[in-house]
Structures are given as structure tokens and as C-alpha cells.
Amino acid sequence: MSLATLDLDRPHFSDQQRALRTAPPPDPAPSPRIRAIPDGPEARGFVLYVGIDEAKASASGTDLGALVAALRKLTTDLAPAAETYAAVALAPRDSGGRDLDVVRLALQDPSALARHRQDQQSPEQKAEGVVVDLSRKRVTIDDSTAPLTYKEFGLLQYLVTRVGRTIARAELIAGLWGADDVDAPNERTIDVHVRRLRSKLDGYEDIIRTVRGVGYRFDPHADVSVRHATTPSPDF
């Protein structure tokens, strides 16, 4: 499975298109609901996956190049400042599977890759060491589920998603409890929470390192596997 770049000349504006650009915009149609974007990042564009092979396109009286050109023209008409890039997903002939799934895998879509990796895992294969499954909010130790509380998992997740960075006690409290939480611990009692978490890691408590006078950190560890959540993008 590979990619081939589809290089099309950028469209030139006709006199009619220039007139459209200066004309007042029509009343906007109701926009589809977009998932909330977390504070910090901003939307810089989007990806639209299209699953169709040449045979299906030909049966519809078109081809992939014409489809891409039409979509690019539509984008230019609606948003002249937008930049576009097109790539075609290639796969061995008669390889099977849904066209859309092949495209998403070839273009490295995170959720498609995560699902593909999960499908490739043997159900008989036991996971040794510590597995932190962020999507299921579960920790297994030598293939047995660790009895972590919600806050204990949140504490571990906060550390492993900031691998290699020392996290101050004050940051842990603010990130997990918030300033207005009456149950928030102080910088001394946060150590109790860390100690309880370590006690449930059954021989792997050293994966959480103490940085004296500062806080805690999680470094890459040969016995720890982190399965990242397939965070949904703010797409349509």
C-alpha cells in the first residue's frame, strides 16, 4: 500500500470567477456541527477521505483526476485563499477491503491505524509488563487488570502523556483537580496519591520517578506499553 501524488495545475480564475470573488456572499447555510476543539490548538484545515477506484469512477462516467479537479475547483470557488494537496492511495490489485479503509490506512489516519494494529494482535498473545490503555482507561499488569481508581488512572495518564518531562506537584493538582475543587489535595498530600498508585503497580512502581524537591516524571520504559487514545479530530 503506497501513495502517489496527484499533481494538477492550480486553476486559473476566469472573468466570471473574479466577479464571483468580489460579489457579496450569499446567506450562509446552517453549518454542520463540529466537535469541540480543545483550548490551545486551532483548526488549520481538514481531510476528506474518498474511497473509490478507477473502475467505479469510470462506471460513473468520470475518473480520479477529474474528481480531484472538481473538488479543488469547488474549494477555490468557496474559499479562494485555501490551499489544496491531493494524493492517491495505491494498493495491490485484488487486495480486497473497503476502498475507504484502504485510503485511510495509506494516508496514516490515526484511528484507522489503531484499529488495524488491534486487529493484527493475536488474541492468545498475553501482554507482559504494564499496558496503559488510554482509550479504555485501563491498566493491565502482566495481562491482569490493575484496580486503579479514576483519579489514580488520571494521575498515571497525566504523567505518561508527558513522557520525559518533570511535572511539578502544583501542576498535577491543577491538572487533575482544578483550582475550585474543594477535594483538591495540597502539595504534601499529592505524595500520598502517588504512593497509593505505586502500590497498585505490583513490582513496576519504579516507572514513576520522584524528582526530589520538584515532583514526578515518567520516562520511556521497556516494560511499559502505552496505547494511545484515538482522539477524534474536530471534523464534520
Question: In the 3-class helix/strand/coil scheme, how is 107-175 assigned residue by residue?
Answer: CCCHHHHHHHHHHHCCCCCCCCCEEEECCCCEEEECCEECCCCHHHHHHHHHHHCCCCCCEEHHHHHHH
**Does one domain contain both 83 and 170?**
no
10 with 111, same domain: the answer is yes
Both 144 and 69 in one domain: the answer is no
Asked if residue 190 belongs to a domain, the reply is yes
Q: What is the count of structural domains for the chain?
A: 2
Give the three cell numbers for residue 8.
Answer: 494538477
CA dihedral 127, 133, 136, 141 (to 10 degrees): 50
Q: What is the DSSP letter of 60?
A: T
Q: Which domain holds residue 170?
A: 130-227
The DSSP symbol for 203 reads T
Task: List pLDDT tens digits, range 21-74.
Answer: 555 555 555 555 555 555 667 788 888 888 888 888 888 999 988 988 999 999
Q: What is the pLDDT of residues 116-171, one digit of tens each?
A: 666 665 555 556 788 888 888 889 888 888 898 988 998 999 998 888 889 998 88
Share of the chain above pLDDT 70, in %: 73
Q: What's the whole-model pTM score?
A: 0.45
Are 104 and 148 in a shared domain?
no
Residues 14 and 113 in one domain: yes
**Contact of 164 with 181, CB cutoff 8 Å:** no
Mean pLDDT score, 5-34 = 52
Judgement on whether residues 192 and 169 belong to the same structural domain of the protein: yes
Cα diameter, the chain: 73
Identify the domain boundary among 88, 119, 150. Answer: 119
